[in-house]
Amino acid sequence: MLLRLLGLFQVPFFSAWIFSKDKIMKKMVIGVDVSKEKMDFCFQRTGEKILKECMVENTTCAIKSSLKNGLKEFSLTKPDVWLCAEYTGQYTYPLSCACEELGIDLWLEN
């Protein structure tokens, strides 16, 4: 998974975005590995181990459904979630649309 490969949770820069003066700003980080036909999602609460990994078809409808299910499964509100993905041009577009429609923060990294 993308988060495991990058070791994102050990990077101090990344932690500064999640924690502010000992208060957790986001409760869940969702890492996404983007490809032409599918996306791999990785759900992780801040400071904890990975809770769930799933594969989703790269369509706006499928992505929205998966994110809604994840919010419901972990009893989260939209402001609690920060979604991180690699920028892959046109393949990222359905994810961008889904996040915009759902009101979920999206961080794209090149």
Taking a C-beta distance cutoff of 8 angstroms, is the pair 40, 2 a contact?
yes
The structure's pTM equals 0.75
pLDDT score recorded for residue 110: 85
pLDDT at position 45 over 50: yes
More confident residue, 106 or 22: 106
Q: How far apart are the first and last CA of the chain?
A: 16
Strand order in the sheet with 50-57: 50-57, 38-45, 28-34, 81-86, 105-109
Q: Where are the domains of the chain?
A: 28-108
pLDDT at position 40 over 50: yes
Interval 68-73 mean pLDDT: 94
Contacts of 3 (CB under 8 A, 6+ apart): 9, 29, 31, 42, 44, 50, 84
Taking a C-beta distance cutoff of 8 angstroms, is the pair 90, 66 a contact?
no
What percent of the chain is modeled with pLDDT above 70?
76
The pLDDT tens digits for 82-91 are 899 999 999 9
User: How does DSSP classify residue 110?
Assistant: -
Q: Calculate the average pLDDT of the chain.
A: 83
Superfamily of domain 28-108: ATPase, nucleotide binding domain (3.30.420.40)
